[in-house]
Structure 1
Amino acid sequence: MYMATTSEKNKKIESASTSNKREVSNGVNADIYSKEGKKVGSLTLPENVFGVRWNDALMHQVVVSMQANARRNVAHTKNRGDVRGGGRKPWRQKGTGRARHGSIRSPIWKGGGVTHGPRNEEVFAKAIPQKMRAKALFVALSRKLSDGEILFVDSFGFAAPKTVEAKRAIMNLATVSGFEKLAMKKKNAALVAFADSSEAARKSFQNMGNVECMSVRNLNPLSVLGHTYLIIENPEAAIKTLESRASKNSKLKTQN
């Protein structure tokens, strides 16, 4: 009876692991579309921003820390020391026939304190190194690009804030192959990233419940992964901003 050797088993495992790896776009050309959904050009994407390999451990640490830092610890209950009143003993210790008590704010009394209830003193914030946050952003952008969920738009060019114009632009972009869900999803459909501070465009999109607006310099892994699509306006300027962040991250690595 033939039995596979250890080396043959290792080769099978290596071939299976390589076949399951996701392909990452390294320096590929991306198409640029107009707000009417028509192709108007192309550009080459930098590898250090859109060609970073996926890292499960890194993304988990960064996303969990960002969610913890955004957590608002609102729930708070009063214990017997926080409830007003109850400083006097309700009745004397002996001779009344009733159970002994020292305060009407005891947790077993109506109107008393709460035992082991939630308190807002607990701190959930977690610190994460700056270079880890920066790399996690590039990992998220690379995954979005490899999944075909990033759309580059030359300019929305809204002269004045108009929600109707913004909805029309989203419907036009939904005609691009692979972005059909833009017209169907009612929540977290797209994150629109602006390279410049376009007040008219931002106000045009802010009334749409399924679209969120953000500046490119404020992009973070949680926002990128929290939306189905990422729409980047003015991609040339946006990529310059992202490349500057990548260069700063590389400088931090050399310093450390």
Structure 2
Amino acid sequence: MVNCAVKNWEGEEVSQINFEWRVAKPENASHIVHRALVRQMTNSRQGTASAKTRSEVRGGGRKPWRQKGTGRARAGSIRSPLWRGGGVIFGPKPRDFEIKMNRKERRLALRTAFQDCLQDAVVVEDFNDRLPRPKTKEVYAALQRWGIDPDRCRVLAIAPKPDPNVTLSMRNLPGVKLIYVNNLNVYDLLTADRLVVTSTALNQIQEVYGDD
């Protein structure tokens, strides 16, 4: 179980929230999280790279010169891989890079990574009403009040649902990435130095990604 202090917009501690769910055993945690990370990164590949073989390159139907008597090496096509403009030997072809992983394993890996990040996370009250209009300066100041310097670390902010003012206020901060509960993933959790999550989002995460 993890006890998290909830801070308000001004950076003052106002309450406590308990977070507990089933995670991987310590001896297996790094392995299953690594598998989930490799799966996510591999499955994000498009797999559309393609190079033409000698049978697909235009031209080359006519023998460049006769077989014997020229003093030059034998050649049957100007689209041979040995020629400039010829086909590619063992070049890439469209393929599917998908790696499968059981749903329960994926969710277990996500819970394990999230709870590990939660040790140093900052839980804050919902601040949508604090931004009646997009204002990056106010979000930057709030992060500093919460003890986070976005200029020195990579910050992952998790909100319960999209809000235009919050999105527009955070997108100009190069060190801050904003995602929503339904977009929670292992890669973003592992690449972030600090985590900022609203109390509502934390409750939704516990409800949606709880024990199977």
- TM-score of the aligned structures, taking structure 2 as reference length: 0.87
Check conservation: 2:150, 2:176, Cα contact below 8 A: no
Q: 1:141 to 1:73 in 2, by over 3 A?
A: same
Check conservation: 2:9, 2:124, Cα contact below 8 A: yes
Give the Å deviation of 1:75: 4.1
> 2: distance between equivalents of 1:72 and 1:121?
9
Q: 1:52 to 1:153 in 2, by over 3 A?
A: farther
Aligned to 1:14: none
Moved over 3 A (4+): 51-54, 72-76
> 1: distance between equivalents of 2:151 and 2:33?
29
Instruction: Kindly indicate whether residue 115 of structure 2 is the aligned counterpart of residue 142 of structure 1.
Output: yes
Instruction: Kindly indicate whether residue 170 of structure 2 is the aligned counterpart of residue 215 of structure 1.
Output: no
Instruction: Kindly indicate whether residue 124 of structure 2 is the aligned counterpart of residue 153 of structure 1.
Output: yes
- Aligned match of 1:241 in 192, 204, 212? 204
Check conservation: 1:91, 1:101, Cα contact below 8 A: yes
The aligned amino acid for 1:56 is: S
Aligned to 1:5: none
- The 5 A counterparts of 1:22-61 are 26=1, 28-45=2-19, 47-48=20-21, 53-54=25-26, 55-61=29-35
- The 5 A counterparts of 1:216-231 are 216-231=181-196
Aligned to 2:95: 122
The aligned amino acid for 2:152 is: M
Q: Secondary structure at the match of 2:68?
A: coil
Aligned residues: CA RMSD: 2.1
Give the Å deviation of 1:115: 2.1
Q: 1:41 to 1:230 in 2, by over 3 A?
A: same
- Aligned match of 2:138 in 153, 159, 165? 165
> 1: distance between equivalents of 2:58 and 2:163?
52
The aligned amino acid for 1:59 is: V
Aligned to 1:97: 71
Q: Secondary structure at the match of 1:165?
A: helix
The aligned amino acid for 2:117 is: K
The aligned amino acid for 2:50 is: H
> 1: distance between equivalents of 2:71 and 2:24?
77
Q: Percentage identity across aligned positions? A: 33
Ranges in structure 1 where 5+ consecutive residues have no aligned partner: 1-25, 251-256
Give the Å deviation of 1:218: 1.7
> 2: distance between equivalents of 1:29 and 1:206?
30
Check conservation: 2:150, 2:173, Cα contact below 8 A: no
Q: Secondary structure at the match of 1:48?
A: coil
Count of aligned pairs: 208
Q: Residues 28-84 of structure 1, C-alpha deviation per residue, up to 9 Å, x if partnerless?
A: 431111233222222222x216x6644122112111111100123354332212221
Q: Is 133-142 or 34-43 further displaced after alignment? A: 34-43
Check conservation: 1:217, 1:241, Cα contact below 8 A: no
Q: 1:223 to 1:98 in 2, by over 3 A?
A: same
Ranges in structure 2 where 5+ consecutive residues have no aligned partner: none
Greater helix share, structure number:
1
